[in-house]
Amino acid sequence: MKILVTGSHGLVGSALLPALMADGHRVLRLLRSATPGTDEILWNPDANQIDAAALEGLDVVVHLAGENIAGQWTVAKKARIRESRVAGTRLLCETLSKLDRPPHALIVASAIGFYGNRGDEKLTEESAMGSGFLPEVVRDWEAAAQPAREHGIRVVQLRFGIILSAHGGALTKMLPPFRFGLGGRVGNGQQWWSWISIEDVVGTICFSLSNETLDGPVNTVSPNPVTNAEFTRILGGVLCRPVIFPMPAVVARLVLGQMAEELLLASACVEPAQLRRAGFQFKKPNLEVGLRSLLAPSVP
């Protein structure tokens, strides 16, 4: 297949490209700075610019670009989080909808942030939207893909959970204090964390390329979510370190503000219902096995 990828330098994109090329696909990248005569295509979402002619004849587009949500959510940061997802997706999808030879599928990054803070409720793709900044961002992010859908393109919106990778993301930020024996639960630890290994993220994307049964929102999470307390206990066990230094909720809110409220302290027990129905086989469905695989070089 001829596949275009945005966000190719990000956590998911950098793991996905080698897998796609190993499978024999031709991979093009949509970049803000592209080299002429290569498989790089220029776009600038901020200026509403994209090389539409270069998008003709693609088989699939995988759209992963978006501002990193980590950090203090200032007014400016929240604007970048929203606009990088909504405006970029809208520009891409409106362009695809006008092509003479559009791709047959568009795989778009999304997030389980759509569900908000839901306690112990079991959440599937049929569950209603939650309340807060992240649910509103995800709602508008997914709606921005509508022009592509209306043009007959199959749109798969992968609602990623907490992606575990040894090369970036949440896990690498957690590791330093845990390795020094300073890790512990956040708040009361009873909030559900729905996670997925980077290997299964890549596997889900590859599975979505030609699986026609996948359409619309797809919860991209392990079938075995854990509470924050379980997560920290298992991580400490894998690293052979104690987990006796909890971060009280009030401290998390003081240090990280709204990001702590909607990410670290929010509870979302999410089930990968669509993936299960489609027959996707997870390679790392178990948290301890997944962490040991990711951290093998540094685990005693």
256-292: pLDDT as tens digits: 888 889 989 999 999 999 999 999 999 999 999 999 9
Task: Bin 134: left if φ > 0, else alpha if -120 < ψ < 50, else beta.
Answer: alpha
Domains of the chain plus CATH, in order, are 2-295 (3.40.50.720)
The DSSP secondary-structure symbol of 247 reads B
Q: Please report, for residues 20, 94, 101, the alpha-carbon distance to residue 2 in angstroms, rounded to integers and kept in the order given.
A: 10, 20, 13
pLDDT tens digits for range 3-60: 999 999 999 999 999 999 999 999 999 999 888 778 999 999 999 999 999 999 999 9
49 DSSP β-pair partners: 44
Cα distance between residue 5 and residue 102, in whole Å: 15
- Nearest CA-CA partner of 230 in 260, 270, 190: 190
Let me know if 22 is exposed, middle or buried by CB neighbors in 10 A (0-12, 13-18, 19+): exposed
Longest Cα–Cα distance of the chain, Å, equals 60
Q: What per-residue confidence (pLDDT) applies to 299?
A: 54
Q: What per-residue confidence (pLDDT) applies to 34?
A: 81
Quote the tokens at residue 249.
Answer: 């909720």
Q: State yes or no: pLDDT of 300 exceeds 80.
A: no
Cα distance between residue 208 and residue 200, in whole Å: 12
In the three-class reduction of DSSP (H, G, I as helix; E, B as strand; rest coil), residue 138 is classed as: helix
Task: Please state, as a whole number, how many other Cβ atoms lie within 10 Å of the Cβ of residue 35.
Answer: 9
pLDDT tens digits for range 169-226: 999 999 999 999 999 999 999 999 999 999 999 999 999 998 999 999 999 999 999 9
pTM passes above 0.85: yes
Cα distance between residue 266 and residue 87, in whole Å: 26
Amino acid 43 reads W
